[in-house]
Structure 1
Amino acid sequence: MSSRSKDPCKVNACRIQKCLNENNYQEDKCVEVLEAMRQCCLKWHKESLCCSGIDLNKVYLPANKGANASSGK
């Protein structure tokens, strides 16, 4: 099979499922893996079937998580 048949974001999708399962499906406990998936989908959304339900505009982690988070809570 060609490398094209392999979904480039599948690993991230599996990481999300694992994280959610381990954290009783609390999305706030998995923001890092959710953001990694979003980043993958920003790059590969045309090739990855795993990205079909991902909102590419929803940022899970602020750009400056620890520093200068003026738009944070």
Structure 2
Amino acid sequence: MSANTKKDPCKANACRIQACLKENNYQENKCADVLEAMRQCCLKWHKVSLCCSGIDLGKPYQTEASKGAGKSEI
């Protein structure tokens, strides 16, 4: 039985989320880019990734305003 045959395609993203949250005192807004990367992974792999259970695929974590960090939109 090979460990690579069942590798979760979104596990690395899940680990990045945990590290980011820990580094930023569990403030989700500081990890929006990492959370969005996980959401994008889960959009592609949700049927095979156990890490994606519980992820709200309809909720973008990065808004257009947060992507364009010097732009102010009202």
Same fold flag (TM > 0.5):
yes
1:58 shift after superposition: 0.6
Q: Which runs of 5+ in 2 are unaligned?
A: none
Greater share of residues in helix: 2
TM-score by length of 1: 0.84
Letter in 2 for 1:22: E
1:41 offset after TM fit, Å? 0.1
Shift of 1:4: 3.9
Percent identity over paired residues: 70
TM, length-normalised to structure 2? 0.83
Aligned to 1:7: 8
Give 1:63 shift.
4.5
User: Equivalents in 2 of 1:24, 1:52: separation in Å?
Assistant: 24
After TM superposition, which residue ranges in structure 1, 4 or more long, deviate above 4 angstroms?
A: none
Two-structure CA RMSD over aligned residues (Å): 2.2
Q: Which residue of 2 aligns with 1:57?
A: 58
Shift of 1:66: 1.4
